[in-house]
Structure 1
Amino acid sequence: MSKTKRSTLYLLLINIFIVFLGIGLVIPVLPSIMNELNISGTTVGYLTAIFALTQLIISPFAGKAADKFGRKIMIVIGLFIFSVSELLFGMGKTIELLFISRILGGVSGACFMPAVTAFIADITTLETRPKMLGYMSAAITTGLIIGPGVGGFLAEIGTRVPFYSASILGFIAATLSVMLLKEPASPQEEIEAKEPI
């Protein structure tokens, strides 16, 4: 793997880690938010379900968009939407706003994850792909493991702080992607580049 592709892979893994760290951050404070807004366990279940349902519905379309418009743009869009969704949840004082936040979160996941997975597939070979996808899985798991601990610490400052922190992390990841991420060449473009003129 070339140095450029390796740097791109590291950036993608950092983005994945940041997103799932952000998701993990908010886990410890959800019970406090439930009590603050008098939300029932059933409503929390609906909030979780609407996130998953939105991601399920949008993912096929987002995957097609990643093929048509490029991996980078879908990753950036997904990260910005993630940032907005966490900000809205942190600001949310009504059930309606929380549901809007979770719907946006589902759209974010649908845009981000297929594009990242496809990006990794684009810049790896058949021999290195399983290893790199393993790194992706490790980045997800690490973010989810570390996130709740950090979120619990931030919750000591305020119950909304983890959401704002997740929003900031998402914005940072999106900005890094805009500046540093290079759209991968298609297999046909790589073949043409290697052919002698």
Structure 2
Amino acid sequence: MAPTLMLVYSLVTIYALCYQLQAPLEPFLVDKLVTGDGASNAYANLQSFFAFIQLIGSFAVGYCIDKFGLRTMFVVNFAACAASYAILANASTIELLFASKIPSIFQAGFLCAQTAAAKLTPAGEQRSSALGRLTAAYTIGATVGPTLGGYLGTTVSASLAVVGSLIAVALVLLLPSAVDADEETPARAAKVAEANSLSWAARLQEILPIVWPLLLTKFIAGLVNSANNAARPLLLKDTFGLEAAQLGAFMSTMFFGNALLGLQLGRLTALLGGGTATVRICLGVLALGYVGIAGGASVIGSASFSGTLVLFPFLATTLVISLAQFPLATTITAESTALVPAPLKGTLVGCEHALFAGAAMLAPRPGIWLLHNLGVSALGAASGAVYIGLAVAWLVLPREAHGAAGAQALQQGAGPDGETAALLAAKPQQRGDGTSGVTLEGPPPALAPNCVKRNGVKGGQC
């Protein structure tokens, strides 16, 4: 599957390059199309409209991946990108600029890529590594895109993004049929077809009871991250006086740090003791980071929270926070996709992306309000309190929280990668010694968290 994954990484790089060619130039285009003080509100409304479209689109694309296949939705994604950028290249009014966002309901290249990685790799270190490398691939395009776009200008950049998206459509055709295939016997194929016939609501009913603790953790963390991501540039610009180039350099540093971490995420997860341990450690680091910012701001005082001596510790702490946010989100995706069968993975990843878009819609205004009205100490304290709550939940409530997902999956007869009992019945089971397995009758014994391994049930005490 290595060549297929390399092609997926290439598609992600093109996707990021085309998007970043034009995205940083949109504020300048809005300034040209809207005069006076209305430009800021128009740009904010444009971003909110785009986030809403992405929210709806994430649910839709995730369902369509399971229904029509990855290759089909990769093509639809890049065709939608081309349509969006084509309208943008010819936008002469603010209304056309808003219209350019409508095709982006199917603009979900990273969602498609994450689903592909989940389907093409076994759960565990290999999947974490593949998901981490997707971020590294995205970083390449996201780094080249803004620089090239700023040099070419809005119209040329958007036109080039159209060409790049159409090239990606052609590359998608090189994806092998195996990307949508599954190991099937005739009986198993019938069960998979039965799963494919489920409605979107029925798919959610299958998924949510198993993965809701993971999705809830990701959504709550996303709210905190979105609030701080909206407030941080204002703090750095207004309080510390950073210029646009300096702010951009720091953001690039965070992006590169995440990319480097992504290349080794699988090994890091294994070194830390697995997915659950990685999530716990990341939550703890994030809690300490935000509490540190809140404590430092409280000790120094709002009036003195400025200058180089304060800036560098703040930037260092922010970088550590960024490096903890990435493995947290990626590991949760790796863990959640291991709990559901292949015919439902697209719907699951679509839900994750929709929650991300929802957090991006809801959190920025409260984050900016906290910063402007109560100061950086209040924003840090609120963020730290949320992460402390999440860390405690993952430490002292494992059976009721993330442990419940594994327990329910086991009760439903889940096997490798979330295969349900109905799907497993269509293929022979093997014990570790290679002999035929026997289906368990009755409810399984109570297991501690992480006793459900990807290749069956762990024996002995956990």
CA separation of 1:106 and 1:47: change in aligned 2, threshold 3 A: farther
> Which residue of the other structure, out of 14, 17, 22, is the alignment partner of 1:18?
14
> Which residue of the other structure, out of 173, 176, 180, is the alignment partner of 1:182?
176
Task: For residues 147-175 of structure 1, give each alpha carbon's deviation from its aligned partner in whole angstroms, at most 9, with x where no partner exists.
Answer: 111112212xxx31011111111111111
Q: How far did residue 189 of structure 1 move? A: 2.6
Q: How far did residue 81 of structure 1 move? A: 0.6
Contact 1:90 1:164 in 2 (8 A): yes
In structure 2, stretches of 5+ residues that fail to align are 189-426, 429-462
**What percent identity do the matched residue pairs reach?**
31
Q: How far did residue 61 of structure 1 move? A: 2.3
User: Which is greater in Rg?
Assistant: 2
Task: For residues 95-115 of structure 1, give each alpha carbon's deviation from its aligned partner in whole angstroms, at most 9, with x where no partner exists.
Answer: 222111112224312xx3332
User: Greater CA deviation, 73-82 or 18-27?
Assistant: 18-27
SS of the equivalent of 1:118 reads helix
Counterpart in 1 of 2:121? 124
Counterpart in 1 of 2:163? 168
What CA distance in whole angstroms lies between the structure 1 residues aligned with 2:72 and 2:172?
9
What CA distance in whole angstroms lies between the structure 2 residues aligned with 1:185 and 1:30?
36
SS of the equivalent of 2:176 reads coil
Q: TM-score under structure 1 normalisation?
A: 0.84
Q: What aligned pairs does 1:31-180 form with structure 2 within 5 A after superposition?
A: 31-38=27-34, 40-109=39-108, 112-126=109-123, 127-155=125-153, 159-178=154-173, 180=174
Read off the aligned partner of 2:95 and give its amino acid letter.
E
Structure with the larger RCO, 1 or 2 (CA within 8 Å, 6+ apart): 1
SS of the equivalent of 2:114 reads helix
User: Greater CA deviation, 141-150 or 85-94?
Assistant: 141-150
Tell me the number of residue pairs that the alignment of Structure 1 and Structure 2 aligns.
184
Task: For residues 123-146 of structure 1, give each alpha carbon's deviation from its aligned partner in whole angstroms, at most 9, with x where no partner exists.
Answer: 112231111111101112222122
CA separation of 1:185 and 1:33: change in aligned 2, threshold 3 A: closer
Q: How far did residue 80 of structure 1 move? A: 0.7
Q: How far did residue 88 of structure 1 move? A: 0.6
What CA distance in whole angstroms lies between the structure 1 residues aligned with 2:60 and 2:31?
37
Read off the aligned partner of 2:104 and give its amino acid letter.
G
Contact 1:50 1:103 in 2 (8 A): no
Q: TM-score under structure 2 normalisation?
A: 0.38
SS of the equivalent of 1:125 reads coil
In structure 1, stretches of 5+ residues that fail to align are none
Task: For residues 53-91 of structure 1, give each alpha carbon's deviation from its aligned partner in whole angstroms, at most 9, with x where no partner exists.
Answer: 111112122211111111110011001110110111011
Q: How far did residue 28 of structure 1 move? A: 4.4
Read off the aligned partner of 1:61 and give its amino acid letter.
A
- Larger helix proportion of the pair: 1
What CA distance in whole angstroms lies between the structure 2 residues aligned with 1:100 and 1:27?
15
What CA distance in whole angstroms lies between the structure 2 residues aligned with 1:31 and 1:49?
14
SS of the equivalent of 1:181 reads coil
CA separation of 1:14 and 1:84: change in aligned 2, threshold 3 A: same
Q: How far did residue 185 of structure 1 move? A: 4.7
